[in-house]
Chain A
Amino acid sequence: MNPVKNLSVIRKIVQLSAFMLLVYGSSLGTFYLADKISGALPALSCAYDMNGSDLCALIPFQHQMDHRLGPVINEGGGILKGLIPTLITLGTFLLFFVVLNKAFCGWICPLGTFQELLQILGQKLGLQRTESVKHSVVEKTRPVKWAILVLLVFGFPLMTGLGYLNHDLGDPFCRICPSRILTTLANGEADQLVVDTANTTTIVFSIAADFLFGLMIALALTVRQPFCRICPMLALHAVFRKIGLLRLVKEASPRCGKCGLCAKACPMDIQEIHTEMVKKDVTFEDCTLCGRCVEFCPDKDVLKLKYASFPVFKADPQYFKVRKKSQTLWEKKTLRSLFAKKDKPVTEKV
């Protein structure tokens, strides 16, 4: 298949470019390219990365709860006054978000890219892949991202700002976020992969962060996008997904009930893409708008990526055939198969 016409290849190129910009931005421009593009990016780009060119919206949200809203409430000030910086950050976030919607996860997020690269590595190493996580597990996992968003991004920081918790709980999500460890390691700095013995809170959070990072790497080798499933950014996206211009649209055909290839292709194991027969907008809360379901839909125009009312990529039987074939070839190419070929006697090649 011509790589230029392969949506997954195009997406990888965009992902790698975004990774370079967001993780090494200052090396590409000036040291202070990170001064910053927005300060409220809808993707996990870390402020601890000294060379990064932007930071995710979750960082200011936590700081604003801790240092602004909490103190303002404590001083008896108006909540609106305390929320103004948060609203400004949210406004900036939404300016970006409207443009790409949840595609920030599937196309831009450095941590998402890293997990996909690990998945490719696992596949090439010949590790047995878990093609799709059981629906019951997916169902149980879904609320976790909401809990993290509510508790770690807003709840604990606000409680800290109000004086109920110690200052180390002012940015609890950042303390466990694997993107912090990943992006600093990517810059050759291991100073975030540490156990911080300052107090019990820092010990617990730093061990949890390191453990989670290791766990994510191991899981990502065989399971698709393990951390994305519990990422609070995904939850935040889900809240505003109706205002984004890019959407996944379905016009169900009777064949949809039997097929299910879209759900199998989905890296987030969203079974509802397959089972939904009524709704047209199928940008579900876990969707990252990666477009794989559209690629692997064999029926013409059943699934579409639409930008506003314009279709930008549509399901097509011809594309599906070629894409499926190229995927099969790609998956056959593993290190194990490479060595197996080498072991074969020369006569067999003829």
Chain B
Amino acid sequence: MPVISYRAAFICCGVLALNATAVGQTAKQGSEAPKSQSAPTMQHQRGPKKLALLNADGAVITLWKPDLSKRLLEPKMDMVTIPPTGVDNYHAIIIEQDWGDSVDAIIRYEYLRGKPSGKSPTKLTSAIKTDLEIVPDPLPREHHRYYSGEKAAFLIRYRNQLLKNQPVVLQTGNGSSLKGVTDNDGRVVMTLPDDFKNVVTGERDQRSADLSITTEYLESGKHYNSTLSAEYRVSPVHWQYKSWGLAAAGVGFLFGGFLTSRVSRSKKERSQ
């Protein structure tokens, strides 16, 4: 069965890992997956999504709906199913593990289909869902995703406070790693690595892979480790050419100019 499967985040100490599977999706994971020639249909699937969890004993898994109502999810056989909520929009899945002297958290935003939520995703991203949180600023909008080679911005927040000069590490499923530090506003902008292998110029490539952004924070002797897990895709710049587009528009413009000048010339001739 064709599935999209993406390895997600590893919390730094490696105690908790997440692997998500969206049922009924068509694209394939990672750089070794075959390239599909059909366009993605994943955004239109309404079925349940599944997350595979490793070492998740004792972890608290919470599904946040767009209106901030919450629901606890129970893993079964190292798998947790996100049921359709009937609401369209981003939902947040928060997986927390409190070890006493440290707290690990994984956050993942998933778009579920249903009736319009009437809520802004900003409401969901702004809500404090766990102590230390990496917040997409903003989440990719309709017709958009995280793409390789493009910039993405994130806020690092400890409870109500944005953390300045906070180091973060971005890792991708394709093996790239990047370091960044938040600015005075607690914001870090990172250029996602263009690291998919064997990308053929001029050919559409619908591969996706996971990325994770991780940060650590020490407060009152307690370690907080947080990871944002997301999917990114091969950048379309590999098969879409702006210069050619501009040239085609230029030809259209010239043709329009030719048409209008012809019309005005024939008008002049008629008037004479």
**Using a CB–CB distance below 8 Å, which chain A residues touch chain B?**
30-35, 39, 47-48, 50, 55, 63, 67, 128, 130, 166-168, 170, 181, 190-191, 193-199, 202, 206-207, 210-219, 221-223
Contacts and interface: CB of A to CB of B under 8 A. Distances in A.
Interface string B103-128: 00000000000001001111000000
A219 B259 contact: yes
9 contacts: A32-B121, A34-B142, A168-B39, A194-B240, A196-B239, A197-B239, A202-B204, A207-B248, A219-B260
A214 B39 contact: no
A207 B240 CA distance: 11
B260 A67 contact: no
A81 B37 CA distance: 30
B257 interface: yes
Contacts of A199: 37, 204
Given A191-B242, A197-B240, A218-B260, A210 B122 contact: no
With most chain B CB atoms within 10 A of its CB, the pick from A31, A130, A168, A217 is: A31
B76 interface: no
Interface in B118-175: 119-122, 138, 141-144
Contacts of B77: none
Interface in B36-50: 37-39, 41, 44
Interface string B55-80: 00000000000000000000000000
A199 B35 CA distance: 14
A213 B39 contact: no
A194 B245 contact: yes
With most chain B CB atoms within 10 A of its CB, the pick from A32, A196, A212, A217 is: A32
Contact of A210 (B142, B143, B252): B252
Given A130-B264, A194-B236, A194-B244, 8 more contacts: A32-B141, A35-B120, A130-B263, A167-B41, A196-B204, A214-B251, A214-B253, A217-B253
Nearest to A217: B253
Contacts of A194: 236, 240-242, 244-245
Contacts of B121: 32, 35
A214 B249 contact: yes
Question: When A and B form their complex, which 7 residue pairs have the shortest distance between CB atoms, in order from nearest?
Answer: A218-B256, A214-B252, A198-B204, A210-B248, A214-B249, A195-B244, A214-B253
Secondary structure call for the B interface: helix
With most chain B CB atoms within 10 A of its CB, the pick from A166, A195, A207, A213 is: A195
Nearest to B137: A31
Nearest to B89: A35
Given A31-B138, A193-B245, A196-B239, A128 B255 contact: no
Interface residues of B, number: 43
Contacts of A206: 240, 245, 248
Contacts of A34: 141-142
Interface string B225-256: 00000000000100111101111111111111
A219 B240 CA distance: 27
B241 A218 contact: no
A30 B126 CA distance: 12
A212 B252 contact: yes
Contact of B256 (A39, A198, A215): A215
Contacts of B83: none
B65 to A, nearest CB: 15
B106 to A, nearest CB: 24
A214 B242 contact: no
A181 B242 CA distance: 12
Contacts of A212: 252
A218 B257 contact: yes
Contacts of A130: 260, 263-264, 267
A219 B264 CA distance: 12
B98 interface: no
Nearest to B124: A32
B203 interface: yes
B66 to A, nearest CB: 9
A124 to B, nearest CB: 16
Contacts of A170: 39
A178 B53 CA distance: 46
A47 to B, nearest CB: 5
B191 to A, nearest CB: 16
